[in-house]
Structure 1
Amino acid sequence: MKLARLTSSALGAVLIAALATTALAPVVSAQSAPPATVAAPQQSLADLVGQVNIPYEQFTLPNGLTTLVHTDRKSPLVGVTVYYRVGSKHEPRGRTGFAHLFEHIMFTGSENVENFDIPLEGAGSTPTNGSTWFDRTNYVETVPTGALDRALMMEADRMGYLLGAVSQERLDRQRGVVQNEKRQGDNQPFGLAEYLLSDRLLPIGHPYRHSTIGSMADLDAASLADVADWFRDNYGPNNVVLVLAGDIDAATARPMVERWFGDISRGPDVPQVQAGPVTLSAPIEEEITDQVSQTRISRNWTGPGVNDADAIPLQVGLYILGGLASSRLDNAMVYGPQVATRVGAYAQVHEQLSFLSADFDLAPDADRAQAQALFDAEIARMIGEGPTADEVQRAATQLIAGQVGSLERVGGFGGKGMVLAEGLLYSGNPAKYREDLLRVASLTPAEIRDAMARWLSRPAYTLAVVPGERTLDGATMGGWGDEAENPPPAPDAGGGTTAARTGPARDIPEAGPVPVLTFPTAEVARLGNGITVNLVRRTSVPTVTVALALDAGSAADSPDEAGRHQLMVDMLSEGTQTRDAMQIIREQEELGASIATSAGVDSTTVLLSSLTSNLPQSLGLMADITLNPAFRADDFARVQTQRLAQIDEEQTNPGALAGRAMGRVLYGNAHPYALAATTGAEDVIARLTPADMQAEHAEWFRPDLAQITVVGDVDMATLLPLLEGTLGQWAPRNSPRPVKAIDAAAPAPAPRLVVVDRPNSPQSVLVVGHVLPITGTQGGQEPLELANEVIGNGFLSRLNNDLRETRGWTYGVRSSVSQRVGQPAFTVSTAVQADRTGDSIRVILDQLAAFPGSRPVDEQELQRVTEGNIRGLPNRFETNGQVMGALLTNHLLGRPDDYQAQLPAIYGAIDAGQIDSAAQAFMRPEGMAIVVVGDRSVIEPQLAQIGLPVEVMEAGGL
């Protein structure tokens, strides 16, 4: 992918998307009578499926390009989704990873467009993005309606007229980016396990065996001739599905598509490959050591492809086994004997086969043999007995309700364009999603049992990853698999010649008028206990999101209690006075609802996502969780163990280690922000008790700290009585409001260079930053936000262009200004190849020094971050979740509810001088602290050029 590795499967746009957890943030409580349990309404699964609908029109050009058009007029946006029928399964031996490398090259420009992102983002588009998987390669962007002509011209130009713009230099740069993407994935805990699964489950030469990212040797071997051959052989319009979804119709779209794509010649049809599932001749068991904190054991099989009759029963069966919060494995291993801190089961479904897996993380001090026996027994019971009718009903309700809630986004990953494209590409039917959901709704326990028995009774590959020294090398993994007998190809010698122009000169179309942002107006009411209610009614999907936000958060903890508040918040859904944890979970599943509790840095939130029809029952459950937590001793012991395991896991993860170290470096050990963005301190969590949880809840869960925000398909006349009957029963307090110590002074910014040693790391994680001399509630910070976009926040930023696109040392770099009520921090973070650690730090500091001194903001940058942002505002508030996030941020930082509506005028009034002044005031490299997490033996010799003494922090002490 251009920005992140894709993890969804071929069926991901439907069921996998439905499994995604909806969450924004945190929680609340008080003493009141628990609301009575309300039975779930009898809404049939067929009725739920009836609410999932993506109508479309279809046409095909003479050159074979097939276009689907879905009309959705809710926002002035069009999602552009392009699927090519070629992926990593089509790669030959010696060129693993090439389909994905080519995807990166497709973003580097065409014969008529030097850089796709500049004119698109300047017109208000989301950044262009793409991904490669076994079966396909896709490209996506969502543009204002007036910029659709521009987007189509660019997609057509690279589809038809690419080769004249691809140089050896561009190939070499993107090769470096992709190799750092591979290093970044490999560097994570358990990062090498995926290679082993396909290696052991499939024979050498099977199209799904080698990884999409490929091997380092094969990436080194890719040549400019390979680029030309791949383009000519696979990227013809007859191998493409184009989907336009949003503020467009087929009558308008067809002449635009014909204009830009009609002259592109057909190419060869991508050949079909033989790539079905494979049954092992005997079970395989393997154990490896890795830099992990817990043992993870998985059992794995290959299974059928997306169009097999067993595909849906297997997905639902594995969801019941280990995907539902009330899953079989959760009940047997996480609850009860508590031998696991996490379990999972899933089907990763592709066009011609699937990967079926179940796994668990062994709890600290648990007996591995006992845990594995329970794990095996639950799999065997599912195979032998199948699920109950109640389990099937709950699983189906959750899956279908999740899909109902996912229909807001027209484009991008997981949007409606992707759903239609995958249905046509893999199944010949854009409406395949409806067939799949109807199949989910009609499944019987016997069908699931029989499918599980057919596929999971076969010999399995069992992998145990245990804590220890990493001995495998990810650089040598991911390839064809016969490198021992057939040495890898020689590296590309370079010197390839760019092809001559292959197509006509074309001008980039002008973008249409600036779209008017119609940010919805919030209705405001107040409950009898004083809680303010803000409602934004949006009826595009039949769902409602309710957020109860409290002025609390992890910053409520004193420095010697880091993690206390967050642990309490996590305990809220573990049981109330009238419900145990499993009852809470099952009621959510029956309702098709999701209730998430979380502690942000400055606020705590209880977030409910509900079907409109089930809102009364869902609100009753939310109120009980919020107001009446039980904090039972056995539940507390289980969650405490999970939290301690999570802290141990953070100390093996390079990004988490960098975050824990930088918090202490910037804010010092005495400030509540020092560990506020982490899971807390191990010694604190270990000594907490259920009584501490009760006290913490009593102190911070009170109506005078709360505000309710609602977005979705409900009106105030209906909503207010429901809230009064639930959260309105929360009694006010007479005691003074508690106070957080966020006004404590942070240490003065000072240059420091801190190293956290993580041996055998192919990359170093860098964080550079300092605390800003402002607070988050001060107004007028928009020039700083735009300066941050110029320097590092976005694909077109200076840092990303330098470190990634020019040098190829990283997969990506990002700068940010943290959203804090108190003093925020400006930070730059990236993961770079280990041998370029010192050079990368120098580049970051040099870029900061040049802005604005020797390199003030230029006209193109100014247009992109001012007019481009104005044009792109509808993209930022397309979904209910985006609107909810904006409203919660307004509340947190003291902004008016109509702040987003003011943004066009605010951005329009900002000039280059204001952006330069913000950079000068807040982004100077002097006083920046630097944290490096990596292999000390490799990186420390490089750090002499930084000119600072090296401090070493131990991972175990963070």
Structure 2
Amino acid sequence: MMKKITAMTSVLALALGACTSYTDGEVESAPVAPVAEADTGDAELAALVDEVQIPYETFTLPNGLTTVVHTDRKAPLVAVSVWYDVGSKHEPAGKTGFAHLFEHLMFNGSENADGDFFEPLQQVGATGFNGTTNADRTNYFETVPTAAIDRVLMLESDRMGYLLGAVTQEKLDNQIGVVQNEKRRGDNQPFGLLRYEVVENIFPKGHPYHHSTIGSMDDLQNASLEDVKQWFRDNYGPNNAVLVLAGDIDVATAKEKVAHWFGAIPRGDEVVDPAVTVPQLAADKEKVIKDQVSTTRIYRMWPVPGETSTDYVPLVMAQTTLGGLASSRLDNALVRGQSLAVSVASWQWSNEDAGVFVVQADLKPGVERAALEAALDEQIAGFIAEGPTQDELDRSKTSIVSGFISGIESVGGFGGKAVTLAEGELYHDNAGHFRTQLDQMVAASPESVRAITQQWLTKPRFSLIVEPGERTEGGENRGGAAIPDTTGEGLNAAAVDWYCNPDFCDPEEMQTTAAQDRSKLPEVGPLTDLDFPDIERATLSNGMEVYFARRDAVPKVTVRMVFDAGYTADSRDALGTQSLMLAAMDEGTDSLDATELAIAQERLGASVNGFANLDETSFQLTALSTRLAPSLDLLADFIRNPAFRADDLERVRSQQLNRISAEMKSPVAAGQRVLTPLVYGDHPYGIPASGLGDSDVVTGLTPAALDAAHQRWIRPDNGKVFVVGDTTLAEAVSLLEASFGDWRAPATPLPAKAFDVEIPEPDARIVLLNRPNSPQSVILGGRILDARGTDDNTVLLAANEVLGGSFLSRINMNLRETKGWSYGSRSGVVYNRDRLGFAIQAEVQADRTGDSILELEKEITGFVGDNGVTPEELERTINGNVRELPGQFETSSSVLAGMVNIVKYGRADDYYETIADTYRSMTAEQMVDAARRNFVYDDIVYVVVGDAEVVEPQLERTGLPYTVQELDQ
């Protein structure tokens, strides 16, 4: 009997997110039975898709607010998601960036809840809370304990109906600065100008999608208080919004509570969507730009219909088979076959009404650009002419549906059921539109996909070439090509009569005539503590310990094998070995080459990933529970029998060298590569945390060296097995025995890592890495703590949360919310098995670099001095950490991660259940004591990545010695 499934995210998101796989690991190879091909015929797929459901009901208040309710009782949580039908496409001339700016302002408090909205949300233990803006809509979302639903609905309704009295000039000025720094932060990244190039070259002037959502600096700077207030009046009425409640709530309760909190808000003017067409370029065009990137990237782009078009799903299928699968046409031809590119992809820049079909390829060093362009165009032309094969299409469908199911557990957040329902209701007037998309996917044939591809990808295209070099222009003067306002009345001037859908709305039943008491926030009701799943244990015949937790909300099983290796398994003269070993394992086994390995996963609807951190090398399988046996066979073949073929190694070597080069172009990654060795010295953690290693080492590694590393570290007596999902311990052990039971440890002793290395004495200073033309500076700071991951560090983590570890922390509220110099600044405890670190990261506008370092000093020294933890901070920290526990472990993946941590750090099985009492008994004095012992400002070493011409003159006043060096490009 197939389990009834409730679905989650959009078909497009699944197509993009479900098809990438990584792989690694093994020791003493033993033969493994060939992986059986799964039957993924149309009938089986259709049956699986038919089980993917999100039961929901919809009702509409007299003021026009549409509410969608989905009941999911698996946890005492409710996802609240409010979507407004306003995005950057609605912005008139001179007001670009207003939709996104208002997203920020709506977090800064309302008339009856003045102050930052993150405060009451954190107090109730909200998880996954944020807001986003795109071209078509703005949304706000949070997942909260069921007992806090009234408080959250009061907050959401207050900023919908009672906001403007709380919007002040001071708040506006501050958030303009924050958004401008968000723009600088995006512009400062490699490929940071891509967003401007896409919209400005694909969509003509005057088109609603021609300008970026972030907007222009001038339009933001010129926004007046009355401008933004009128923007709110025009766009944020209840009749222009969709509210979704998903989780531990029923329709009757939802009707009562939504009417109570939202019913008195008056209806607003109707928002009139601008007319949006799919543009057509007059002729092919090409543009070449320079950027701080590691290698040349070639883009091919075509205007295509948006998500509301019936062509959308066939285009998704085309994009997935062309360059979205691990076994895609482009990968096989250009990366694995002709070895012209280090990576390829196809994807869609999707909007509601129109989008962009994108194909990209990164040039392999030493290859002529023209050769890759010719080969790329040949593959695209062949795909347009032939379309996908039936097998490619079947694998795409299976991968998409499997990814769909993986997201089912989450009720909210950036994805989840609430997103799917809201998107369907807002864009299609049908919360269940995901069913239409899935049915279209099942019905898609090679012929139908080919026809849609020929219809749109034979039109003129835009080619963008991004080459390494100094930028010829930044983003400061871009983003503001506006929509002309030809009406003289603004875009949203029209209004229509009130309408209530009789199928979902009973005006008499739902009528609310008076505003509710908003003089104080509603109390939070009785809370349900976390019930962490029981951890069951077993031992395989080869001695591997198995840890199991049952979660049956979806028909998926996740298996993770964790080996005591990681990047610290590399000696100092072999940095990058583990990473290259993992990459090479992704290229196939003794019996399967890279393409065959990818195809095997896609046919099963499974994914195999290999990854590492400083302490561990892990391999993870996510599989449909009905296909667990063949999926485990594939995992076993992958871990135990890597091929390490010479040709494959050359290919992944080029990719890793390119990633190392790319790290040096990214301001944060480049700074971290310099900072970590400065503070850790010769300790095993004193290496770049990415694990990519040294170029010289990677260049010289051989298949024999990778095989030796594999044999040394990936062995059954050095690993543990973790299983979470829709199975039983008995079944899991039986299947693991069949795949891994005969895997025996070699006779050689277990390898060991030496952590008894002295940490260098702190030498407080600033190292400035010159990165010319950077609109922002990245400030990184660090010191090593006399604490280890196996210690009880709960109080230390709580202290950091107050100082810099949350949105409401002192560091972030100062540099972002008070000064407006940064989009985000933080401190954190770098957590590993051995010595912990204290780290600071602040990305600030370049002309405020020195001032920001002084503010960091003020916050840290004040916190450990006379300005300790306040009663309000203590209450927020305790309440937030206790109340968010059920939300932290909503999904199987989060349970798996928690189980791994319990074992890694030697915690008791009920650790996450008892930690609530640890927080409840915590005092401000304990937190301050932990801060004084660990957050020692005079020990902090800074690395600043920025434009030395702008930044160096500011450093003198910090009082810290400094040196300037060129960024190693």
TM-score range for the pair, normalised by the shorter chain length: over 0.9
Summarize the alignment of residues 884-903 of structure 1 with structure 2, pairs less than 5 Å apart.
Answer: 884-903=896-915
Aligned partner of 2:398 in structure 1 is 397
Distance between the aligned counterparts of 1:122 and 1:473, measured in 2?
40
Secondary structure class of the residue paired with 2:787 = coil
Amino acid at match of 2:33: P
- Which amino acid in structure 2 is aligned with residue 818 of structure 1? V
Q: Distance in 1 between matches of 2:219 and 2:189?
A: 22
Structure 2: distance between partners of 1:355 and 1:32: 48
Task: Give the Å deviation of 1:670.
Answer: 6.1
**Which secondary structure does the structure 2 equivalent of 1:579 belong to?**
coil
The aligned amino acid for 2:745 is P
Give the Å deviation of 1:12.
6.8
CA distance in 2, matches of 1:504, 1:259: 10
Tell me which residue corresponds to 1:924.
936
Alpha-carbon distance, 1:26 to partner: 7.2
SS at match of 1:335: helix
Note if 1:265 corresponds to 2:278.
no
Distance 1:482 1:15, change over 3 A: closer
Q: CA deviation at 1:504?
A: 7.3
Q: Give 2:157's aligned residue.
A: 156
Partner of 2:699 in structure 1? Answer: 686
Matching residue of 1:102: 102
Matches within 5 A, 1:515-554: 515-554=528-567
One-letter code aligned to 1:764: S
CA distance in 2, matches of 1:757, 1:625: 43
For residues 438 and 754 of structure 2, the distance between their equivalents in structure 1, rounded to whole angstroms, comes to 50
Q: CA deviation at 1:551?
A: 0.5
Distance 1:71 1:461, change over 3 A: same
Give the superposition deviation at 1:339. 0.7
Residues 15 and 320 in structure 2, CA contact (< 8 A), matched pair in contact too: no
2:676 paired residue number: 663
Per mean C-alpha deviation after superposition, the further-off stretch among 120-129 and 81-90 is 120-129
Contact 1:743-1:822 at 8 Å conserved across structures: no
SS at structure 2 position matched to 1:696: helix
Task: Give the SS at the match of 2:142.
Answer: strand
Aligned-pair CA distance for 1:783 = 0.3
Q: State the distance in 2 between where 1:543 and 1:472 align.
A: 48
2:732 is matched with 719
Match of 1:875 in 2: 887
State the 1:220 CA deviation: 0.7
1:135 aligns to what?
Answer: 136
Pairwise CA distance, 1:675: 2.1
- Distance in 1 between residues matched to 2:11 and 2:76, nearest whole Å: 25
* 8 Å contact kept, 2:548–2:723: yes
Is 1:19–1:402's contact at 8 Å kept on the other side of the alignment? Answer: no
1:38 to 16, 27, 36: 36
Residues 128-176 of structure 1: CA distance to partner in whole angstroms, max 9, x if unpaired?
3100011100000110000000000000000000000000000010001
Deviation of residue 741 (structure 1)?
2.4
What residue is the counterpart of 2:420 in the other structure? 419
Corresponding residue for 1:51?
Answer: 51
CA-CA distance at 1:374 after TM superposition = 0.8
Q: Residues 818-829 of structure 1: matches in 2 within 5 Å?
A: 818-829=830-841
Distance in 1 between the 2:308 and 2:79 partners?
A: 26
Aligned counterpart, 2:82: 82
CA distance, structure 1, for counterparts of residue 518 and residue 624 of structure 2: 51
Closer/same/farther in 2, CA of residues 24 and 59 from structure 1, 3 Å limit: farther
Shift in Å at residue 732 of structure 1?
2.1
The code of the aligned residue for 1:47 comes to A
Q: Is the 8 A contact 1:285 1:463 kept in 2?
A: yes
- Report what 1:488 is aligned to: none
Letter aligned with residue 56 of structure 1:
Y
Quote the Cα distance in structure 2 between the aligned partners of 1:757 and 1:481: 35
1:13 shift after superposition: 3.4
Amino acid at match of 1:301: W
Q: How does 1:354-503 map to 2 (within 5 A)?
A: 354-480=355-481
**1:69/1:245 contact within 8 Å kept:** yes
CA displacement, residues 761-785 of structure 1 (integer Å, 9 cap, x when unaligned): 000011111011122122x211001
Answer whether contact 1:54 1:416 (CA < 8 A) is retained.
Answer: yes
Contact in 1 for aligned 2:298/2:362 (Cα 8 Å): yes
Pairwise CA distance, 1:24: 11
Measured after TM superposition, the shift of residue 48 of structure 1 is 2.2
What's the counterpart of residue 601 of structure 1? Answer: 614
- Of the three residues 20, 26, 29, the one matched with 2:27 is 29
- Give 5+ residue unaligned stretches, structure 1: 1-10, 484-501
Q: Deviations over 1:518-544 (max 9, x none)?
A: 010111000000001011100001101
Query: Contact conserved, 1:160 with 1:503, CA < 8 A, in 2?
Result: no
CA distance in 1, matches of 2:606, 2:399: 7
Q: Supply the distance in 2 between the matched residues of 1:634 and 1:577 (Cα, whole angstroms).
A: 14
Q: Which residue of 1 aligns with 2:10?
A: 13
Q: CA deviation at 1:25?
A: 10
Aligned match of 1:8: none
Residue 499 (structure 2) aligns with: none
Inter-partner Cα distance in structure 2 for 1:503 and 1:90 = 32
Cα deviations across residues 72-100 of structure 1 (Å, max 9, x unaligned)? 00010000000001110000111111100
Aligned amino acid, residue 761 of structure 2: A
Matches within 5 A, 1:928-939: 928-939=940-951
Please tell me whether the aligned partners of residues 673 and 742 of structure 1 are also in contact (alpha carbons under 8 angstroms).
Answer: no
Distance 1:584 1:933 in 2: 41
Bigger shift: residues 590-599 or 851-860: 851-860
Deviations along 1:80-131, whole A, 9 cap, x unmatched? 0000011100001111111000110000000011232212211111263100
> Following TM superposition, by how much is the alpha carbon of 1:821 offset from its aligned partner in structure 2, in angstroms?
1.2
Choose from 731, 737, 752 the match for 1:739.
752
Greater Cα offset, 389-398 or 194-203? 194-203
The structural deviation recorded for 1:746 is 2.0
Structure 2 residue 783 is the aligned partner of structure 1 residue 770: yes
Contact 1:34 1:578 in 2 (8 A): no
SS of the equivalent of 1:772 reads strand
Residue identity in the other structure for 1:925: Y
Out of 849, 871, 878, which is 1:866 matched to?
878
Report the counterpart of residue 506 of structure 2 in structure 1.
Answer: none
Correspondence for 1:796: 808
Shift of 1:19: 3.0
Aligned-residue offset at 1:326: 0.8
- The CA distance in 2 between the partners of 1:675 and 1:272, in whole Å, is 49
Q: SS state of the match for residue 774, structure 2? A: coil
What secondary structure, in the 3-state scheme, does the structure 1 residue paired with 2:467 have?
A: strand
User: Given residue 567 of structure 2, which amino acid in structure 1 is its aligned partner?
Assistant: S
Question: In 2, Cα distance between the equivalents of 1:128 and 1:580?
Answer: 43
- Return the alpha-carbon distance in structure 2 between the equivalents of residues 29 and 343 of structure 1: 31
Structure 1 letter corresponding to 2:742: Q
- Answering whether residue 858 of structure 2 is matched by residue 857 of structure 1, we say no
Write the distance in 2 (CA, Å) between the matches of 1:19 and 1:467.
Answer: 27
Which residue is 1:913 aligned to?
Answer: 925
- Alignment partners' CA distance in 2, 1:868 and 1:37: 47
Q: How does 1:225-240 map to 2 (within 5 A)?
A: 225-240=226-241
Aligned ranges 1:202-213 → 2 under 5 Å: 202-213=203-214
Q: 8 Å contact 2:181–2:821 — kept in the other structure?
A: yes
Structure 2 unaligned blocks of 5 or more: 1-7, 485-514
What is the SS of the residue equivalent to 2:562? strand
**3-state SS in 2 of match to 1:511:** coil
Work out the number of aligned pairs and report it: 928
Report the Cα distance in structure 2 between the residues aligned to 1:26 and 1:625, rounded to whole angstroms. 7
Distance 1:13 1:845 in 2: 45
By how many angstroms is 1:902 displaced? Answer: 1.6
Q: For the Cα contact (< 8 Å) 1:311–1:349, is it kept in 2?
A: no
Residue identity opposite 2:631 in structure 1: S
Correspondence 1:521-670 to 2 at 5 A: 521-668=534-681
Closer, same or farther: CA 41–482 of 1 in aligned 2, 3 Å: closer
1:346: how far off?
A: 1.2
- Distance in 2, matches of 1:673 and 1:782, equals 25
Q: Check the 8 A contact 1:96/1:210 in 2, yes or no.
A: yes
Over 3 Å counting, the alpha-carbon distance change for 1:230 and 1:107 in structure 2 is: same
Q: After the TM superposition, which of the residue ranges 446-455 and 884-893 deviates more from structure 2?
A: 884-893
Q: 1:730 aligns with which of 729, 734, 743?
A: 743
**Matched-pair identity in %:** 47
User: Is 1:26–1:549's contact at 8 Å kept on the other side of the alignment?
Assistant: no
For 2:362 and 2:920, the matched residues in 1 are separated by 52
**How far 1:193 moved relative to its partner?**
1.8
The whole-number CA distance in structure 1 between the counterparts of 2:909 and 2:559 is 16
